[in-house]
């Protein structure tokens, strides 16, 4: 089958769901993943033909996309901050706003001396994208990453191997006070970072089916009555387990920016900043332990 004819079929079947530009993006990701072809190859070789088995693979992808399964789960991988990551139904697909959070930390600490070591904790690591990217981009770092999900930890461990970094992974529930005992209280952290569950049940109606029907709800949702549960718990943990002048970083619910900021102020953090993402939404929060 001609590859360009297959591309036309993708548009016929999917444009009404996703729009032309996104369908093109899906198609090019597929030819790179399954055929190891750069996207410009189709322009250079408009008569490029694929085999029957390859065609069948693309039609299976097409059916999955029609069911609004995320392309990242279909391919089993994605890119985050220029690094490759395995993703599946047990972990959230990394978002651009999380890249902004990571970039904020990297830029703040990239100028420090190579002799100074950073000890970092990522709470709710999921795929490991935050912990692994920080370990990859900040020299002389000791990185810990915890998650309540055994399946997520398994994915994160594979991603650490894939990106050739050493992370200490811990399967525990940050909401359980007994988890504090797994850390050496004599050795505190310089940075604690978290992208915890923050989507309220009432916000489900705003979410697209590809997210709502596929990504792990454990990593997404909190009860409407206590939407800042994770932020309060992690802030209290950070107050006890950060070094003096250690830093706390959060990705946050854009609708609860002021309320989340107040948690850090109430815990006597200084230099508390509510930061906007590239779309102008309140999405990041940072503070420094007194």
The whole-number pLDDT of residue 143 equals: 97
Mind listing the pLDDT tens digit for each residue in 105-154? 999 998 775 667 899 999 999 999 999 999 999 989 999 999 999 999 99
What is the rounded distance in angstroms from the CA atom of residue 184 to the CA atom of residue 161? Answer: 25
What is the rounded distance in angstroms from the CA atom of residue 240 to the CA atom of residue 141? Answer: 21
Structure tokens at 14: 């999917």
Picking from 30-34, 106-110, 185-189, which range would have the lowest pLDDT averaged per residue?
A: 185-189
End-to-end CA gap in the chain? 65
Partners of 221 in beta bridges: 199
- Asked whether the whole model's pTM tops 0.85, one would answer yes
The whole-number pLDDT of residue 114 equals: 65
Does the structure show a pLDDT above 90 at 196? yes
| Largest CA-CA distance found in the chain, in angstroms, rounded | 66
Partners of 118 in beta bridges: 141
Contacts of 225 (CB under 8 A, 6+ apart): none
- At which residue do the structure tokens 């854009």 appear? 254
What is the rounded distance in angstroms from the CA atom of residue 289 to the CA atom of residue 144? Answer: 19
Mind listing the pLDDT tens digit for each residue in 243-264? 999 999 999 999 999 999 999 9
Burial of 44 (0-12, 13-18, 19+ CB in 10 A): exposed
Does the structure show a pLDDT above 70 at 186? no
Burial of 235 (0-12, 13-18, 19+ CB in 10 A): buried
The whole-number pLDDT of residue 39 equals: 86
Does the structure show a pLDDT above 90 at 179? no
β 167-171/77-80 pair status: unpaired
The whole-number pLDDT of residue 22 equals: 96
Mind listing the pLDDT tens digit for each residue in 93-105? 999 999 999 999 9
What is the rounded distance in angstroms from the CA atom of residue 169 to the CA atom of residue 200? Answer: 28
Of residues 60 and 213, more confidence is placed in 60
Q: For residue 32, report the phi and psi dihedrals to the nearest 5 degrees.
A: -70, -40
Contact present, 130 and 195 (Cβ < 8 Å): yes
DSSP string for the chain: -BHHHHHHHHHHHHHHHH-HHHHHHHHHHHHHHHH---TTHHHH-TT-B--HHHHHHHHHHHHHHHTT--HHHHHTEEEETTEEEE--TTSPPP-HHHHHHHHHHHHHHTTS-TTS-EEEEEES-TTSHHHHHHHHHSSSEEEEEEES-HHHHHHHHHHHHHTT--EEEEE--TTSGGGGGGS-TTS-EEEEEE----EEGGGGGGS-HHHHTTS-GGGTEE-TT-TTHHHHHHHHHHHHHEEEEEEEEEE--GGGHHHHHHHHHHTTEEEEEEEE-TTS-EEEEEEEE-
């Amino acid at each position: 089958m001609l590859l360009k004819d297959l591309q036309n079929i993708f548009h016929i079947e999917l444009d009404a769901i996703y729009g032309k530009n996104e369908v093109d993006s899906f198609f090019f990701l597929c030819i790179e993943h399954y055929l190891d072809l750069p996207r410009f190859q189709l322009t250079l070789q408009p008569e490029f033909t694929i085999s029957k088995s390859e065609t069948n693979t693309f039609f299976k992808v097409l059916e999955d996309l029609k069911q609004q399964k995320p392309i990242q789960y279909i391919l089993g991988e994605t890119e985050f901050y220029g690094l490759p990551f395995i993703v599946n139904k047990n972990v959230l697909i990394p978002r651009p706003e999380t890249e902004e959070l990571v970039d904020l930390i990297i830029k703040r600490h990239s100028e420090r001396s190579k002799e100074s070591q950073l000890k970092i904790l990522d709470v709710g690591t999921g795929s490991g994208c935050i912990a692994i990217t920080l370990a990859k981009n900040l020299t002389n770092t000791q990185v810990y990453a915890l998650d309540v999900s055994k399946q997520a930890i398994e994915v994160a461990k594979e991603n650490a191997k894939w990106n050739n970094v050493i992370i200490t992974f811990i399967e525990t529930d940050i909401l359980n006070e007994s988890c504090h005992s797994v850390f050496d209280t004599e050795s505190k952290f310089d940075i604690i970072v978290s992208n915890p569950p923050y989507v309220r049940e009432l916000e489900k109606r705003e979410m697209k089916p590809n997210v709502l029907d596929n990504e792990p709800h454990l990593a997404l949702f909190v009860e409407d009555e206590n939407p800042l549960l994770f932020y309060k718990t992690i802030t209290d943990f950070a107050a006890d387990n950060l070094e003096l002048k250690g830093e706390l970083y959060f990705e946050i619910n854009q609708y609860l920016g002021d309320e989340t900021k107040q948690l850090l102020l109430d815990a006597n953090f200084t230099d508390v900043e509510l930061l906007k993402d590239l779309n102008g939404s309140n999405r990041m929060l940072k503070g420094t332990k007194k």
